[in-house]
Amino acid sequence: MDTAFRKWFKDWLKRGSKEVYLASGSDYSKTQEQVNNDILNSVDAVFSCAGNAIYVKGQLKYKSDWTLKEPQISWLNEQLFKSLFTGKVGRHIEIRTGLVNFSVVGRAADKDQRAKYVEFDKKNSERKRIADLFNKKFEGIAVAQVAGETGIDLMEPKKDKGQIAQYFVEPGTNVYFFGDQMKSGGNDYPLGEALKRNYIDSSKGRSTVIEVRGWKDTWNYLQKMENR
C-alpha cells in the first residue's frame, strides 16, 4: 500500500461513522505485507481468500478446509509448461484457505518481473484463456477466475468473493465496493453482482460498485466522497 495513501486512509477510517471491510483473494499473511497491521487492525473485518477465511483484529473467525485435488493441480502444471512466457520465477501454485492461486510468472516474482507478465497477459489474454479452459474441463468441481495483476484464483463453486455479500443485507445499508477485476471472469465480479442483487430494491439501501485500475483511483474516489 502506498505510504501516503496508507497514512491518509488510516486517518479516514477514524473520521465519521462507517464500517470498512477489506476483501482479498490473498491469504492474511500476504495482506499483512501489502497493507500492514495498523490498517488491518483498524478495519471491521478482513475477508481473506475470497471470503474463505475471515479475520477480525488479526483473529481468525472462520476458515474453509476445501482445496484442489491432484488432477486439477496436474492440469495447472501442464498449462505452466505450455505457457510461452519466458520469465517464470517460481511458486506458481499457492495453496490458501479454501482457495488455490495459480500464477504463470510465480508468486516469487519481484515488481519488474510482475510488470513484464502484466504486459504479456494484456497482449495474449493468457489468464482468461487458462481460466476458461479450466472452467470447461472441471465444471462443477472448481471455478477459475482472473485475479489481481498476475494470478488466477481457483475455488469451490459458489465460494468465490460473491459469498461475502451475505454479510451485507441489513435494510437501509449503503455499500460501496471497490475492485479492479469487475468484468465477467474477474474475481471481483461475483461480489459486485451479488451486492447489486441484495439492494435491487432501493428501499433496502443502495450498493455502488466502483471499478478501479489501482490505489490512486480508490484514493481519488474516497476523497471526492468525503468532500461532498
Asked if 114 and 106 count as a contact pair (C-beta separation under 8 A), the reply is: no
Number of domains in the chain: 2
As a whole number, the mean pLDDT across the chain is 94
Band (pLDDT 50/70/90 cuts) for residue 61 is very high
Band (pLDDT 50/70/90 cuts) for residue 189 is very high
Share of the chain above pLDDT 70, in %: 99
16: exposed, middle or buried (Cβ count in 10 Å: 0-12, 13-18, 19+)? exposed
Band (pLDDT 50/70/90 cuts) for residue 206 is confident
Band (pLDDT 50/70/90 cuts) for residue 155 is very high
pTM of the full predicted structure?
A: 0.79
Please indicate, yes or no, if residue 167 is contained in any of the structural domains.
Answer: no
Band (pLDDT 50/70/90 cuts) for residue 9 is very high
115-140 pLDDT tens trace: 999 999 999 999 999 999 999 999 99
Secondary structure letter of residue 186 according to DSSP: B
From residue 128, give the alpha-carbon distance in Å to each of 25, 57, 65, 179, 184.
17, 35, 26, 17, 10
Same domain for 81 and 150?
yes
The candidate with the shortest Cα–Cα distance to 18, out of 140, 144, 174, 151, is 174
Cross-strand partners of 60: 55
Share of the chain above pLDDT 90, in %: 85
Band (pLDDT 50/70/90 cuts) for residue 47 is very high
CATH number at residue 74: 3.30.1240.20
68-125 pLDDT tens trace: 999 999 999 999 999 999 999 999 999 999 999 999 999 999 999 999 999 999 999 9
Q: Which residues of 65-87 are buried (b: 16+ CB within 10 A; e: fewer)?
A: eebbeeebbebbeebbeebeeee
Please indicate, yes or no, if residue 163 is contained in any of the structural domains.
Answer: no
Secondary structure letter of residue 139 according to DSSP: T
**Cα atoms found within 13 Å of the Cα of residue 7, Cβ hemisphere only:** 2
CA distance linking residue 171 with residue 206, whole number of Å: 9
Same domain for 88 and 104?
yes
Same domain for 129 and 193?
no
pLDDT at 46: 98
Band (pLDDT 50/70/90 cuts) for residue 210 is very high
CATH number at residue 48: 3.40.50.1000
Average pLDDT over residues 134-162: 94
CA distance linking residue 68 with residue 102, whole number of Å: 11
Same domain for 151 and 183?
no
Instruction: Please determine, for residue 170, whether its predicted confidence score (pLDDT) is greater than 90.
Output: no
Same domain for 75 and 151?
yes
Range of the domain at 28: 3-64+173-226
pLDDT at 171: 82
Average pLDDT over residues 150-173: 92
Q: Which residues of 154-169 are buried (b: 16+ CB within 10 A; e: fewer)?
A: bbbeebbbbbbbeebe
Average pLDDT over residues 45-69: 95
